[in-house]
Amino acid sequence: MGSERLYRLLQPGEPGIGARVFRGVHHAAVAAGVGIMLADTVDASRLAWADALDAGFWIVCSFFAAEYFVRLIAAPGNPNSLQRSPWRARLDWAASAGGVCDLVGVLPSAVEIVFSPDFASLFGFVWVFKLVRYAPGLASLGRVISDARQALLSVLLGFCIVLLLSASFAYLLEGSAQPEVFGSIPAALWWAIVTLTTTGYGDVIPVTPLGRMLGGVVMISGIMVFALWAGILASGFAEETRRREFLRTWDLVSKVPFFHDIGASTIADVARLLRPREYPAGAAIVRRGELGDCMYFIASGEVEIRLSSDPVQLGAGQFFGEIALLTGGPRTATAVATRPSTLLLLDVADFRDLIGRQPDLARIIREEAERRLVPADG
């Protein structure tokens, strides 16, 4: 097996059967490894299943060691490494975050041999981090935090200022009444942290009227600070989701022959309006007589248009559903996906906006609709 094919086999998004089998075995090994480490810390489990736990531990370690060397061998198959020598590509992968994580995942076996099972258990939990490459949401979280780091650091600075002020005022207001817990600003910091985070353990509470008022202000300030953090992260996630969805739609739009000659700026305009939808084979997309509120462009797959006469097959690059939008009437046919298909949906409001701003697209859609209306009898 060539390095290119082996590299694709190991990629998280590869749809092939071999890749899916590997991912299943990989995830099962991670789950088994973490389960073994948890069970190994329970005395009863260790006494009852010592041999089985040891055997499972070495099987998991062997699998991850083999995975590391396979990924090392496959590194030259990375399309970004084609201009580098095979050994340079392997060194670059070994020094990457994924390579280091995979190498650390091999360490529990060495720790078991050199040190003790307790240290091996500690290192064994590194295995759970091997799932990060299969979780694109975590990559999105990293980008969100990186993009919003200035705002997040500003709120963190405000949190620290409020924390110190709270501890200082608590020391002034409660120090004489409770010197054992508010006798210094460092001692009062515990109460400030617990109150500002609204945890409220109740082990340290103000007893003076002014101290209780301060506690209320600190709790409200804590809610505001964490609301700011949550708002910043939520806005960042929403923006990242829109960006990822736009890039996916752009990629689909650019592959539709209907849009090949409209230019990059128009593709960007259209991509903001279209929403991708996946349909399995046999799924009914629209039904005759329904109210038409959108039209569809076929990015991939095949759709059968079932008219009163013979059915019509439409493939990638073609569109349907425009007649109901142009006439304002019900659907004139039923559309069924004959193969797994990816469609781009354009709803009626965006359709009217698009044909108003893109006259060439509007003309093509109208001409096709008029051509179809003749055999379809409207």
Which of 6-15, 113-122, 251-260 shows the lowest mean pLDDT across its residues? 113-122
* 224-229 mean pLDDT: 91
**Would you state the pLDDT for residue 63?**
92
**Would you state the pLDDT for residue 257?**
63
pLDDT at 162 over 50: yes
Query: Quick one: pLDDT band at residue 376, thresholds 50, 70, 90?
Result: very low
Query: Quick one: pLDDT band at residue 161, thresholds 50, 70, 90?
Result: very high
Q: Measured between alpha carbons, how far is 139 from 374 in angstroms, rounded to an integer?
A: 52
Q: Measured between alpha carbons, how far is 171 from 156 in angstroms, rounded to an integer?
A: 23
For 238, residues 6+ apart whose C-beta sits below 8 A from its C-beta are none
**Would you state the pLDDT for residue 329?**
78
pLDDT at 73 over 80: yes
Q: Measured between alpha carbons, how far is 169 from 176 in angstroms, rounded to an integer?
A: 12
Query: What pTM did the predictor assign?
Result: 0.60
**Would you state the pLDDT for residue 264?**
63
* 360-365 mean pLDDT: 73
Which of 101-110, 134-143, 225-234, 262-271 shows the lowest mean pLDDT across its residues? 262-271
pLDDT at 353 over 80: no
**Would you state the pLDDT for residue 110?**
66
Average pLDDT, the chain: 83
pLDDT at 94 over 60: yes
- Quote the percentage of the chain above a pLDDT of 90: 24
Query: Quick one: pLDDT band at residue 377, thresholds 50, 70, 90?
Result: very low
In the structure encoding, which two tokens stand for residue 51, read together? 């041999």
**Would you state the pLDDT for residue 378?**
37
**Would you state the pLDDT for residue 120?**
59
pLDDT at 207 over 80: yes
Q: Measured between alpha carbons, how far is 143 from 372 in angstroms, rounded to an integer?
A: 47
Cα–Cα distances in Å, from 133 out to 13, 15, 24, 99?
A: 10, 16, 14, 11
Long-range pairs of 127-130 with CB within 8 A, sequence gap ≥ 24: 127/29, 127/30, 127/33, 127/34, 127/60, 127/64, 128/30, 128/34, 129/101, 129/105, 130/26, 130/30, 130/64, 130/101, 130/102, 130/105
Tens-place pLDDT, residues 164-199: 999 999 999 998 899 988 999 999 999 999 999 888
**Would you state the pLDDT for residue 116?**
58
* 330-355 mean pLDDT: 85
pLDDT at 37 over 80: yes
The answer to whether the CB of 249 falls within 8 A of the CB of 275 is yes
* 49-70 mean pLDDT: 89
* Helix locations, the chain, DSSP H: 3-9, 17-40, 43-48, 50-74, 86-95, 97-104, 107-114, 117-124, 136-147, 149-174, 179-182, 185-196, 209-255, 264-271, 322-327, 348-357, 359-376
Query: Quick one: pLDDT band at residue 119, thresholds 50, 70, 90?
Result: low
pLDDT at 298 over 50: yes
Phi then psi for 296, rounded to 5 degrees? Answer: -130, 140
**Would you state the pLDDT for residue 255?**
65
* Domains of the chain by start residue, with CATH: 3-134 (1.20.120), 149-239 (1.10.287.70), 274-376 (2.60.120.10)
Phi then psi for 150, rounded to 5 degrees? Answer: -65, -45
